């Protein structure tokens, strides 16, 4: 959470910083600020609220170096004082992460009375300032300070009197760097600086970068020069614009036919699932006795679909863990366990820590990740990248469906090499998988029908969602979408479970969204729908076309696919429902309150 950026070069730093912060705003939008170097001194402008509020205040600034920050509050309330950058003595910095021992450091420095904010970050500035006093050397001051920090951090630092360089260092929290003839750039995400050069690198952890107009020097803490591994941006930076849509979320929902095709196509060779381009060793599939899927939020819901598919088709036991609980739940994993971590950003700290823990227990690991070169991708033994492209809206949509697509491919590969499906069985499975992009397109072509249904929910305070079998995890995801962007309380239930308590909440007019796509469960689901109808609930139904009958009215007919493949079309329809409820309520769909796209705090 929090986005940081830094620039030094021949352009006006203010423009680079503000533009970059706008694209990093998805990481947090409680406040924003920049610090630029002018006349060998640093000048800070910061305020609570969005980058657009800051932009107004910095209109007249001209400078050739600076750092910037957009905040998701952790330590200290949302206020001007707690906004970054923070300055102590001659040190000004921006910080992404959390310092666990900041109180002890603050007390040992005896600076409590001098601090202007409640943040852990200001203490880092004070620490570096003290070390500078001692060593009179910027790099040494940073290294000696960082050695004392416990926690996660990405820091961009400037020193009064040092106008030729900015500095960066990190532990866990990301920093990427690149350069062109106009200067050198650092940021939390390549999205903010990819337009300046497609060649970039991830700053190695526990190193310090000295960044000047024409070069970036990196040293480890022993003073050895480090050559970082260069990466190439392999998507068009224009993909990270709204492309004429009012919100990123709508654009990203509409991109699903294309990105599903891209994710699936490259992994199907001669009608068989194939991960050779991903360099996956089939041994991890052949030799595992059980699978543990670890993820958070939407990515965990993709994991629940994965569990359903793998257990049903391959008869391998699969556990799905919320990453935040994994380490503390005494998970039974060992060298025969395949751990699959799922993450759009590849930076979710809970998932990353869970992965490291599982590796220590001897498990083999595979990551399903969207952001190339991210921490989880680098940490895992193997990685399969979803081809969703940049996902900017906080509510995840195309990342989810492409994660689910990868689970179909993994299921097919597992089943093929372990003999659960023969050649005909696998090719039939893949044929059905290849129908997903068209099924997605079909729903998008009828999005106005879903818009009309959304109007029924706009003034609701609560909704319930009911479905059975594979429809239940799809509804967990649909319910999260509705909650996070429309602020309507929503709960998803396995339909049969409702009468064990929750049905007490259903009364006249309570909105209930019912999903029915599983043929073998259709009659049972119909009975469950009737149960809520007879309590006068306002039921909105999403039903697979071939299951539509005169017994239950169908509000939206979903395209016909085999039961196992309905997870994708169902969710796309319900993503649209959530989207229209939020946009019709006039909310900021892409930036829901209290949230951030990348969750780098535990
Ligand atoms: O980047 P990750 O996929 O690891 O993020 C995990 C969750 O924070 C994320 O899926 C979150 O639940 C979504 N933004 C919800 O739409």
Specify the pLDDT at position 172.
87
377-432 confidence digits (pLDDT tens): 999 999 999 999 999 999 999 999 999 999 999 999 999 999 999 999 999 999 99
Residue 225 is given by DSSP the state B
The atom of ligand 1 lying closest to the CA of 599 is 8
Distance of alpha carbon 184 from the chain centroid: 26
- Asked whether 384 and 551 are in contact (CB, 8 A), the reply is no
Per the structure block, which two tokens stand in for 507? 């009364």
**Mean per-residue pLDDT, 520-541:** 96
pLDDT band (50, 70, 90) for residue 571: very high
Of the CA atoms within 13 Å of residue 26, those in its CB half-sphere come to 22
Q: Clarify whether 398 is annotated catalytic.
A: no
Distance 598 CA to ligand 1 centre (A): 7
The atom of ligand 1 lying closest to the CA of 376 is 4
**Mean per-residue pLDDT, 195-201:** 95
The atom of ligand 1 lying closest to the CA of 399 is 3
Distance 507 CA to ligand 1 centre (A): 33
Share of the chain above pLDDT 70, in %: 100
Burial class (CB in 10 A: 0-12, 13-18, 19+), 219: middle
Residue nearest to atom 14 of ligand 1 (CA): 395
Place of tokens 């990342």: 399
Residue nearest to atom 6 of ligand 1 (CA): 296
The residues, ordered by sequence, that sit 6+ positions from 105 with a Cβ below 8 Å of its Cβ are 99, 123, 127, 148, 149
Spatial separation of the C-alpha atoms in residues 106 and 116, rounded to whole Å: 13
Specify the pLDDT at position 236.
76
The atom of ligand 1 lying closest to the CA of 296 is 6
**Mean per-residue pLDDT, 528-551:** 96
Cis peptide before 85 (omega within 30 of 0): yes
Q: Clarify whether 597 is annotated catalytic.
A: yes
Distance 188 CA to ligand 1 centre (A): 17
CA dihedral (367, 371, 373, 374) in degrees, to 10, reads: -70
Q: Which of these is catalytic: 2, 42, 138, 177?
A: 2
Q: What is the pTM of this model?
A: 0.87
φ, ψ at 292 (rounded to 5°): -120, 125
β-pair partners for 201: 177, 230
Specify the pLDDT at position 239.
74
β-pair partners for 273: 268
Q: Look at residue 295 and tell me whether its pLDDT is greater than 90.
A: yes
Specify the pLDDT at position 73.
86
Spatial separation of the C-alpha atoms in residues 410 and 415, rounded to whole Å: 8
Specify the pLDDT at position 92.
97
Least confident of 127-131, 147-151, 229-233: 229-233
Q: Which of 88, 86, 95 is nearest to 109 (CA)?
A: 88
213-271 confidence digits (pLDDT tens): 999 999 999 999 999 999 998 877 777 788 899 999 999 999 999 999 999 999 999 99
The residues, ordered by sequence, that sit 6+ positions from 513 with a Cβ below 8 Å of its Cβ are 463, 464, 465, 466, 475, 478, 539, 540, 541, 542, 574, 577
65-123 confidence digits (pLDDT tens): 999 999 988 888 999 999 999 999 999 999 999 999 999 999 999 999 999 999 999 99
The chain-wide mean pLDDT, for the chain, equals: 95
**Mean per-residue pLDDT, 314-342:** 96
SS (H, E, C) 107-146: HHHCCHHHCCCCCHHHHHHHHHHHHHHHHCCHHHHHHHHH
**Mean per-residue pLDDT, 181-191:** 95
Distance 27 CA to ligand 1 centre (A): 12
Pocket of ligand 1 (CB under 6 A): 296-299, 343-345, 348, 351, 394-396, 480, 484, 599
Q: Which of 408, 439, 436, 506 is nearest to 466 (CA)?
A: 506
443-465 confidence digits (pLDDT tens): 999 999 999 999 999 999 999 99
422-449 confidence digits (pLDDT tens): 999 999 999 999 999 999 999 999 999 9
φ, ψ at 481 (rounded to 5°): -60, -50
449-505 confidence digits (pLDDT tens): 999 999 999 999 999 999 999 999 999 999 999 999 999 999 999 999 998 998 999
């Amino acid at each position: 959470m929090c986005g940081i950026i830094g620039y030094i070069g021949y352009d006006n730093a203010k423009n680079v910083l503000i533009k970059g912060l706008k694209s990093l705003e998805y990481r947090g939008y409680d406040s924003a600020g920049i610090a630029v170097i002018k006349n060998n001194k640093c000048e800070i402008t910061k305020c609570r609220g969005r980058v657009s509020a800051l932009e107004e205040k910095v209109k007249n600034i001209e400078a050739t170096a600076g750092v910037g920050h957009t905040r998701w509050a952790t330590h200290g309330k949302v206020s001007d004082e707690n906004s970054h950058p923070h300055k102590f003595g001659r040190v000004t910095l921006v910080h992404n992460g959390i310092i666990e021992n900041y109180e002890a450091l603050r007390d040992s420095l005896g600076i409590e009375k001098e601090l202007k904010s409640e943040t852990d970050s200001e203490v880092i500035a004070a620490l570096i300032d003290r070390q500078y006093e001692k060593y009179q050397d910027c790099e040494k001051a940073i290294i000696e300070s960082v050695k004392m920090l416990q926690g996660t951090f990405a820091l961009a630092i400037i020193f009064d009197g040092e106008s030729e360089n900015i500095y960066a260092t990190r532990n866990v929290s990301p920093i990427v760097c690149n350069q062109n003839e106009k200067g050198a750039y650092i940021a939390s995400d390549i999205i903010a600086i990819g337009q300046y050069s497609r060649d970039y690198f991830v700053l190695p952890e526990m190193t310090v970068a000295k960044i000047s107009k024409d070069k970036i020097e990196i040293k480890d803490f022993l003073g050895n020069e480090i050559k970082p591994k260069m990466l190439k941006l392999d998507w068009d930076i224009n993909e990270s614009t709204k492309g004429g849509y009012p919100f990123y979320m709508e654009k990203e929902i509409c991109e699903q036919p294309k990105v599903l095709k891209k994710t699936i196509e490259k992994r199907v060779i001669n009608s068989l699932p194939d991960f050779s381009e991903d360099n996956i060793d089939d041994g991890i599939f052949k030799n595992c006795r059980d699978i543990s899927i670890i993820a958070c939020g939407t990515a965990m819901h993709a994991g629940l679909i994965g569990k359903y598919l793998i257990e049903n088709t391959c008869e391998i036991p699969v556990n799905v863990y919320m990453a935040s609980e994994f380490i503390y739940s005494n998970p039974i994993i060992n060298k025969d366990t395949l751990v699959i971590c799922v993450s759009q950003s590849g930076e979710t700290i809970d998932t990353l820590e869970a992965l490291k823990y599982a590796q220590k227990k001897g498990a083999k690991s595979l990551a399903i990740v969207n952001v190339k070169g991210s921490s989880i991708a680098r940490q895992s033994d193997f990685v399969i990248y979803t081809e969703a492209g940049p996902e900017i809206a906080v509510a995840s949509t195309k990342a989810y469906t492409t994660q689910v697509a990868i689970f179909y491919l993994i299921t097919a590969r597992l089943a093929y090499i372990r003999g659960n499906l023969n050649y005909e069985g696998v090719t039939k499975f893949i044929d059905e998988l290849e129908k997903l992009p068209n099924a997605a397109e079909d729903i998008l072509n009828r999005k106005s029908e879903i818009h009309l249904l959304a109007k029924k929910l706009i003034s609701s305070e609560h909704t319930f969602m009911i479905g059975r079998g594979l429809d239940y995890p799809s509804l967990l995801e649909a319910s999260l979408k509705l909650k996070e962007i429309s602020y309507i309380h929503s709960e998803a239930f396995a339909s049969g479970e409702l009468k064990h308590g929750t049905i007490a909440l259903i009364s006249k007019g309570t909105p209930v969204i019912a999903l029915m796509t599983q043929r073998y469960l259709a009659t049972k689901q119909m009975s469950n729908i009737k149960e809520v109808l007879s309590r006068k609930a306002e039921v909105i139904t999403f039903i697979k076309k071939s299951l539509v009958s005169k017994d239950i009215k169908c509000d939206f007919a979903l395209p016909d696919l085999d039961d196992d493949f309905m997870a994708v079309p169902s969710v796309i329809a319900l993503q649209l429902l959530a989207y229209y409820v939020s946009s019709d309520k006039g909310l900021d769909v892409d930036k829901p309150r209290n949230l951030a796209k990348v969750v780098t705090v535990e």
